Structure 1
């Protein structure tokens, strides 16, 4: 019998933090679990990333209410993954924003992704019975859009493919702070199962060109200060590169998925095995890298059954 996914046994609660990363800007973090961002404007609040369930979202709301009583007007979802979007109903935001591409991915694979993630990472779906259904945006954009929270300007942009094809980032120019979603991680493995390895580093460089003073990453601690920002961007690029290159070499010589897995582990284990969710992400990362190296540009849809089939193929 094949062993279970690492995430299936990850049931230990994580310590949460609520860190100020600029004036009226906060990052809710949880030791490698999905982060949420908060932007306080003159008359309302914008939330970035919803969490996986309304119950988990309320933990974010408790922190928000410690610093402001302003209403939540906007919710930005940087991509379509279930652990990021299914808690949206708890915030009561009138405007829910995604990129056009992210919305199309909800339509194409949102339910499959929900089923897949729920099956392999049950702890992140605490209170799942409250989820009313798939989360759909009320507003979408192609390349960029601007929202004003009173006088506070917030720019929402697509800077390139990385974690998914439809990734968005949120830039607050008055503080030079960015919320990057899962394009940037800190001491946490990148989940690349729906990613684009060939584009990811370019997208990271597009982020770096803004010279952010702080970043709220997708997972891991808030990145406060330019030195920490640069370190996290470089480490994320190294993770993506170190995952893809050994797999591509195996594909070039006609090797199997299992051989790609072994090659990737040999390269990545010494550098990243203490990263949060590393063991969870690795099989999906190798499978996607194997596909991309074979010329499959659009990530294949993950389903609960495909997860199991892939995992069985990687066992000795």
Structure 2
């Protein structure tokens, strides 16, 4: 993670965005470590996408979702296991059916405890949100795909394979042409590479690029990124193009046998020149490190 104290990652249930009939987003309001949170309704049930970090945030999300559902059954899913997306799931126990893909469930079980400790090191505000967190056990686990019938509306949950994490999944609402990407796509910021060798090297820049090529080809009228403003299909193309350029520029320099430090400096300068308004510049270095490791020898 970036080496500075993060602001308090508080979910504010305000400025709710209606994307389609019976489909809203609680926006992250550009606050770091706060995800965009989806509420997708059908005749019989409502699906919540993401929890926010810790029980305090999740309680607010659950309260809103229960009020929105008006008696309909609640389901919960998360796009991947990282703390701001999934470390509030325990709050939904007994109130919602928690369903995720197998790879994400394994991430949550194996890597979740270490991520609690790592994120607590980001500063007191984050540590406070994670106080008392226990990692939830999913009620339903699927392998590659799951079609959830909410009653008159089917939501498609799809595991993408290893990319930003081993257990990424996307959530598609076909009748509204809305796609929730989690951290596979961000708006207005450089792609988040959780590259922390030797502790965590599961992110794959090459596989992530393949996933984004497929998602961009499939498209969606409305794209809800993990963080940042809701957008359209261009958001998918922008992330695809960034990852491709990051890979190409890194590998060109790797072929020339220059030092990794030089590659980081030169590629970072190029990316910032291309995207001067994007946030999260520290993630460029992590992306270069990851792609150096994936360079074909």
Classify the TM-score, shorter chain. Answer: 0.7 to 0.9
Q: Residue 290 of structure 1: SS of its match in structure 2?
A: helix
| Residue range with higher mean Cα deviation, 112-121 or 139-148 | 112-121
SS in 2 for 1:75: strand
| Per-residue deviation, 1:7 | 5.5
Deviates more, 1:42-51 or 1:193-202: 193-202
Question: Is residue 268 of structure 1 aligned with residue 271 of structure 2?
Answer: yes
SS of match in other structure, 1:151: coil
User: Structure 1, unaligned stretches of length 5 or more?
Assistant: 224-228, 296-316
Quote the RMSD (CA, aligned, Å): 2.7
Matches of 2:167 and 2:125, distance apart in 1: 26
CA distance in 2, matches of 1:199, 1:87: 28
Pair 1:202 & 2:203 matched: no
Q: More deviation in 175-184 or 204-213?
A: 204-213
Query: 1:298 — aligned with what?
Result: none
Between the two proteins, the alignment pairs up a number of residues equal to: 284
Report how far residue 67 of structure 1 moved: 4.0
The corresponding residue for 1:188 is 189
| 2:191 equivalent to 1:222 | no
Structure 2 runs not aligned, ≥5 long: 195-201
Task: Provide the TM-score with structure 2 as the length reference.
Answer: 0.83
Q: Which residue number corresponds to residue 253 of structure 1?
A: 256
Q: Deviations over 1:11-60 (max 9, x none)?
A: 27787642111111112222153221111122332111121111122343
Query: Taking CA–CA contacts closer than 8 Å with sequence separation of 6 or more, which of the two structures ends up with the larger relative contact order?
Result: 1
The CA distance in 2 between the partners of 1:216 and 1:192, in whole Å, is 19
Residue from 236, 240, 243 that aligns with 2:239: 236
The offset of 1:218, in angstroms, is: 0.8
Partners in 1 of 2:167 and 2:220 — Cα distance? 21
Task: Decide whether the 8 Å contact of 1:192 with 1:284 is kept in 2.
Answer: yes
Change (3 A) 1:42 1:107: same
Q: Work out the CA distance in 2 between the residues paired with 1:121 and 1:162.
A: 27
2:9–2:126 contact (8 Å) kept in structure 1: no
Shift of 1:220: 0.7
Among 21, 24, 28, the alignment partner of 1:23 is 21
| Distance of 2:72 and 2:3 partners within structure 1 | 35
Hey, which bits of structure 1, 4+ residues long, moved more than 6 A? 12-15
Match of 2:82 in 1: 81
The alignment's TM-score, normalised by the length of structure 1, stands at 0.79
* Residues 103 and 38 of structure 1: CA distance in aligned 2, closer, same or farther (over 3 Å): same
What are the residue-to-residue correspondences of 1:1-316 with 2, within 5 Å?
6=2, 8-11=4-7, 17-30=15-28, 31=30, 33-61=34-62, 63-64=64-65, 67-71=68-72, 73-92=74-93, 93-120=95-122, 123-131=125-133, 133-193=134-194, 194-223=202-231, 229-276=232-279, 278-293=280-295
Q: In structure 2, the residue corresponding to 1:156 is in which secondary structure? A: strand
Give the CA deviation at 1:235.
Answer: 1.5
